[in-house]
Amino acid sequence: MPIAIKMPALSPTMEEGTLAKWLVKVGDTVSAGDIMAEIETDKATMEFEAVDEGVIADIAVPEGSEGVKVGTVIATLAEEGEDPASVKPASADAAPAPAPKDEPSAQAATLTAASAPAPSSSPAPAASGDRVIASPLAKRIAAQKGLDLSSVKGSGPNGRIVKADVEGAQATAAPAAAAPAPAPSAAPAAAPVQAQDFGIPHEVEKLSGMRKTIARRLTESKQQVPHIYLTVDIRLDALLKLRSDLNKALEAQGVKLSVNDMLIKALAKALVAVPQCNVQFAGDQLLKFSRADISVAVSIEGGLITPIVADAGAKAISAISTEMKDLATRAREGKLQPSEYQGGTASLSNMGMFGIKQFEAVINPPQAMIMAIGAGEKRPYVVDDALQIATVMSATGSFDHRAIDGADGAQLMKVFKELCENPLGLVA
Catalytic residues: 401
Q: Going edge to edge, which strands form the sheet with 16-22?
A: 45-49, 35-40, 16-22, 65-69
Q: At what angle do helices 163-173 and 136-145 cross, to 10 degrees?
A: 20
3-state class of 410 per DSSP? helix
> Residue 366, preceding bond cis, omega within 30 degrees?
yes
3-state class of 133 per DSSP? coil
- Residue 21: in which H helix or E strand, if any? strand 16-22
- The 8-class DSSP code of residue 49 comes to E
Query: CB under 8 Å to 294, separation ≥6 — which residues?
Result: 264, 267, 268, 308, 309, 312, 344, 345, 346, 347, 348
Distance CA 391, CA 419 (A): 16
